[in-house]
Amino acid sequence: VQLQASGGGLVQAGGSLRLSCAASGRTFSSYDMGWFRQAPGKEREFVAAVNWRGDSRYYVDSAKGRFTISRDNAKNTVYLQMNSLKPEDTAVYYCAARYRGSGSYYRFANGNEYDYWGQGTLVTVSS
């Protein structure tokens, strides 16, 4: 699976962005999809994930109520709608894919469970 993330940019605190991740190469609808981020000087962290059917979603606590992950299997694309952005959301955001697996939050949130990664898109939130 090849993943291409886009949609990052500079936004003021309180603003919104929608990230997209376009997939190609294999059957997108068979893959769980996740978003991770890495801020400067920090480790990569889980943000959100959606299972291959699109009926289960998982979020890190800091994203709940502000971010929404969704997928369009007809377009081979997963989205991350980010609202009420904060300066601490500043990071490079990566999408990732893994062949459909179990429904444990901890497995969806574990980057080591994912086999394919996009190149990342930078989100900068100014205060």
| pLDDT one-digit tens code per residue, 34-82 | 999 999 999 999 999 999 999 999 999 999 999 999 999 999 999 999 9
Q: How far apart are CA 88 and CA 107, in angstroms?
A: 25
- 55 Cβ neighbours under 8 A, 6+ residues apart: none
pLDDT at 106: 92
pLDDT at 102: 76
pLDDT at 103: 73
pLDDT at 101: 80
Nearest to 86 by CA among 14, 19, 35, 17: 14
The average pLDDT across 85-95 equals 98
Tokens of 21: 């991740």
User: For 94-114, what is each residue's pLDDT tens digit?
Assistant: 999 999 887 789 999 999 999
